[in-house]
Amino acid sequence: MDELALTLIELGAVVFCLGLLARLAGRIGMSPIPLYLVGGLFFGAGGLMKLEGIQSFAHLSGEIGVILLLLMLGLEYSAPELVTGMRRSWQGGVLDLVLNFLPGAALALMLGWGGVGAMVMGGVTYISSSGIAAKVITDLGRIGNRETPVVLSILVFEDLTMAIYLPILTATLAGISFLEGMLTVAISLAVVTVVLAVALRHGHHVSKAVHSENSEVFLLNLLGAALLVAGLAAALQVSAAVGAFMLGIAISGATADSATRILEPLRDLFAAIFFVAFGLNTDPTSIPPVLGWALVLAVVTTATKVVTGVWAAWRAGIARPGRFRAGAALIARGEFSIVIAGLAVASGAVSGELAALATAYVLIMAILGPLGARYVEPVLKKFSRPATPEAVRA
């Protein structure tokens, strides 16, 4: 069959099935993300039927999906709100780093993968999935909740940490000098600082540059600017997601409101393809041998993420339900964790078992995260005992 015809058939079938899965998820009252991931597993490497024609398209579309998710999350907040949130929540970010880096690093050392393996697995278990978290918060209608800025601050802290971690990891895997690694880190930090300063001082100019009364022109300006900024950020060793988020922060006022409305359908399409692409690239046969260790890590790091969110939300004066919603929103791991493992395996510096463990772990957490965020509140209500008259009087 002609290659173009095959690609169109596979793409059409995938998108149509995404619609069916989203409808099913809506009927049972859950996020469609786990269904997208499992659907990708069935039709990826080692699945029931491998889709050959859409691999490259799915990869690029998935990257665009993450960019749009973070862009639209950034549109919900102004630069002063972000800075204030970071000042209030940096302690939570540090706690997050300590609690969630150590389990992966400790397991790698225990399995005999050495210091490099510990550095890699620590990063895999540390970083939450900004894309999944953004999708879950949107799907559950929690953008306006009091705990959402706390979650956002921790996610941004993680992404900024990645701006330091990834260059150091890349330098370690490549065996380059300490000074070269530090230069890469300095460039990353400088880029993030400059972008944030532009958002704080000149955000109105950015809004004016992309705004148009013509919806077609507005959409092209927004999408072009998002991809351009994300690409430049990635080229300068900063997360593309951070670049897109910072652009969203810089756009404010009525322009931000209009941008949210016009981008929403596009975001939903590309975000769905991102989660399917993740499943397509996962070989189910590599999971069983490391499933036990992946489950152990999942249990431990689910608890540590919840503790992080609860503590950070408590520091912000948020009530008990909001604290646990914040913790549950941070559970999912995803795109960054896979990138970290992929860099390590491609370098030949770590065991191939590490990639299988990372894949199994991320898949579990990518499914557990949306489910935990969806059901944390009903579970809390179920196990919360109503106050007795004696307790009320006391």
CA distances 75 to 86, 118, 180, 255, Å, are 17, 36, 35, 9
d(C-alpha 390, C-alpha 394), whole Å: 6
- The type of residue at 290 is V
Q: HSE-up of 114 (CA within 13 Å, CB side)?
A: 7
d(C-alpha 257, C-alpha 251), whole Å: 9
d(C-alpha 156, C-alpha 88), whole Å: 13
d(C-alpha 2, C-alpha 81), whole Å: 52
Residue 56 class from Cβ within 10 Å (0-12 exposed, 13-18 middle, 19+ buried)?
exposed
* pLDDT value, residue 178: 61
351 three-state secondary structure: coil
* pLDDT value, residue 5: 84
Give me the domains of the chain, ranges plus CATH numbers.
3-379 (1.20.1530.20)
Structure tokens at 258: 């209009």
Length of the chain: 394
Task: Name every residue whose Cβ is closer than 8 Å to that of residue 283 and which is 6 or more positions away in sequence.
Answer: 44, 45, 46, 359
* pLDDT value, residue 311: 95
Q: What global pTM score does this model have?
A: 0.71
* pLDDT value, residue 30: 66
d(C-alpha 14, C-alpha 54), whole Å: 9
Picking from 290, 355, 301, 365, the residue whose alpha carbon sits closest to that of residue 102 is 301
Q: How many CB atoms lie within 10 A of CB 320?
A: 12
Residue-wise pLDDT for 166-175, tens only, equals 767 777 776 6
**DSSP symbols for 142-208:** -TTSTTHHHHHHHHHHHHHHHHHHHHHHHHHHHT--HHHHHHHHHHHHHHHHHHHHHHHHHHHHHHH
For the chain, which residues score pLDDT lower than 50?
Answer: 387-394
Running DSSP on this structure, what letter comes out for residue 284?
G
* pLDDT value, residue 108: 93
